[in-house]
Structures are given as structure tokens and as C-alpha cells.
């Protein structure tokens, strides 16, 4: 038996998801001290960064007449239209100043194609275009993942479910996550994570 190798995956701890940001998650910055402490306990540490071009199709502003937080149909299925957030190269896309980024082995960016959103760190929202993270983790012998960050019901949840489907052991540390909770999205995400075999701790 090969040993279990544990990775910490820190999802989207960026200014726009923290208080004062364009798509602020309530108390989003409260999880940062815990995440910084956790980083020291893992053999492999990955940060993800939501990284959209200004013309990204997930922005309500790019759909004339559409309200932020409304739903639209994309070729790959339903898509929430978000306030403009995490635009490449803007301060909102930077990691929060309090996050210790130096310990990261890898920073992976997602959502950089204008026609498709990417909540998950593994696959874009068509659920089949890979980001490359799976290959990186397998190459490093990683077997188990612990996920933390923002937001529990979108990028953390989608990443956790994809990871479980890929065969990784997956734990989500809920007290090191915060949720957007749009129309019951948190309860739904928790349900789907549990059904996928994700451990909510
Ligand atoms: C996220 C909505 C849009 C997230 C990213 O990080 O959960 N949510 N883009
Ligand atoms: Zn986004």
C-alpha cells in the first residue's frame, strides 16, 4: 500500500469574496487565520484563484437587462449571473492580504475562458473541461484532499463533489468555509456533497 498523501486546497480567498468586495461572502475573511494555520499541516498546498476576463459570460453586466443573481441558460446548462467580480489583474482578484500565500506549492486559476464559468477547481461548468489540477495532484501522489475557502455552496462544493467523483478522499472543513446561500444553495450543496461521499467536518 502506498501512503496516503494529504493536500489542502484553499478555494478563492480573494478580495472580491471578502467583506467590501464585489461578491462579498458574509464573514468571508473570518476563516483566514484558521487557513493560515492549517497550511502548515499539509504536505501539499494548493490555492485557487477565480480569474475572469472583463467580458466573462457569468457577469450579469454582460447580459443586457439581466439582474445580478438571476439565472440564465448557457449551452452547458443553467448559470447564475453574478455581479462583476475577480476580473484578471484587478485588486478584487488578488488574494486577501491576510492569506499566507508563500506556503502554496501551486496556484491554479479558473474561469479564464469568457464563454464558460468554472466553479470547480477540477472541471469547468460543462463538468468535462479539465483545469489540470487532477493531473498535478496525481503526479504528486496525493490521495486525500481537505477543502477550505469560499464559497461553501459554489466553488468549494463543486470542487468537493468533482474530487470525490475522481476518487480522492475528500473532507470539507465547514468552519473554514463561508457560504453565499442563494435561494437554499447551501442546504443543496451540503446534501449533494454528502451524497457524493464528501465528509463534512
Ligand atoms: C464563486 C460565484 C462566482 C466562488 C466564484 O468562489 O464560490 N462563486 N464565482
Ligand atoms: Zn467567478
Q: Can 12 be counted among the known catalytic residues? A: yes
| Ligand 1 probe mutation, 10, 11, 12, most atoms within 8 A of CB | 12
The helix (H) or strand (E) run that includes residue 142 is none
Rounded Cα–Cα distance for residues 123 and 119 (Å)? 8
Say yes or no: CB of residue 151 within 6 Å of ligand 1. Answer: yes
Rounded Cα–Cα distance for residues 39 and 6 (Å)? 11
Rounded Cα–Cα distance for residues 41 and 64 (Å)? 47
Say yes or no: CB of residue 50 within 6 Å of ligand 1. Answer: yes
Q: Look up the pTM and report it.
A: 0.97
Residue 4 Cα to ligand 2 middle (Å): 32
pLDDT at position 102, please? 98
- Residues 10-27 have pLDDT tens digits of 999 999 999 999 999 999
> Sorting pLDDT into bands at 50, 70 and 90, what band is 37?
very high
pLDDT at position 2, please? 73
The ligand that comes nearest to the alpha carbon of residue 87 is: 2
Q: Can 153 be counted among the known catalytic residues? A: no
Q: Can 155 be counted among the known catalytic residues? A: yes
Neighbouring C-alpha atoms within 13 Å toward the C-beta of 175: 4
Rounded Cα–Cα distance for residues 71 and 6 (Å)? 36
Say yes or no: CB of residue 60 within 6 Å of ligand 1. Answer: no
Neighbouring C-alpha atoms within 13 Å toward the C-beta of 8: 22
- Residues 76-131 have pLDDT tens digits of 999 999 999 999 999 999 999 999 999 999 999 999 999 999 999 999 999 999 99
pLDDT at 47 over 80: yes
Say yes or no: CB of residue 134 within 6 Å of ligand 1. Answer: no
pLDDT at 1 over 90: no
pLDDT at 159 over 90: yes
The pLDDT of 18-41, averaged and rounded, is 98
pLDDT at 43 over 80: yes
Give the burial class of 108: count Cβ atoms within 10 A of its Cβ; 0-12 exposed, 13-18 middle, 19 or more buried: middle
Pairing of strands 77-80, 71-74: antiparallel
pLDDT at position 45, please? 98
Name the residue with the closest Cα to ligand 1, atom 8. 154
pLDDT at 146 over 80: yes
Residue 52 Cα to ligand 1 middle (Å): 11
Q: Among residues 50, 155, 162, 177, which one is catalytic?
A: 155
- Cell readout for 121 is 477547481
Mean pLDDT over the full length of the chain: 97
DSSP state at residue 60: G
Scored b (16 or more CB within 10 A) or e, 22-40 reads bbbbeebbebbeebbebbe
DSSP state at residue 92: G
**β partners of residue 130:** 123
Name the residue with the closest Cα to ligand 1, atom 1. 155
Residue 154 Cα to ligand 2 middle (Å): 9
Amino acid at each position: 500500500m502506498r501512503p496516503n498523501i494529504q493536500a489542502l486546497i484553499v478555494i478563492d480567498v480573494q478580495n472580491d469574496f471578502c467583506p467590501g468586495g464585489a461578491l462579498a461572502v458574509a464573514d468571508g475573511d473570518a476563516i483566514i487565520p484558521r487557513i493560515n494555520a492549517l497550511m502548515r499541516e499539509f504536505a501539499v498546498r494548493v490555492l485557487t484563484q477565480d480569474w475572469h476576463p472583463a467580458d466573462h459570460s457569468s457577469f450579469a453586466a454582460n447580459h443586457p437587462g439581466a439582474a445580478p443573481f438571476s439565472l440564465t441558460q448557457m449551452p452547458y446548462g443553467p448559470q447564475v449571473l453574478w455581479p462583476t467580480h475577480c476580473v484578471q489583474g484587478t485588486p478584487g482578484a488578488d488574494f486577501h492580504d491576510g492569506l499566507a500565500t508563500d506556503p502554496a506549492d501551486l496556484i491554479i486559476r479558473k474561469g479564464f475562458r469568457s464563454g464558460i464559468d468554472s466553479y470547480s477547481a477540477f472541471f469547468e461548468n460543462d463538468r468535462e473541461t479539465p483545469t489540470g489540477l487532477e493531473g498535478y495532484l496525481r503526479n504528486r501522489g496525493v490521495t486525500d484532499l481537505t477543502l477550505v475557502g469560499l464559497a461553501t455552496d459554489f466553488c468549494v462544493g463543486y470542487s468537493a463533489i468533482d474530487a470525490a467523483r475522481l476518487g480522492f478522499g475528500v473532507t470539507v472543513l465547514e468552519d473554514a468555509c463561508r457560504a453565499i446561500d442563494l435561494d437554499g444553495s447551501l442546504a443543496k450543496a451540503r446534501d449533494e456533497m454528502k451524497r457524493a461521499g464528501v465528509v463534512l467536518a
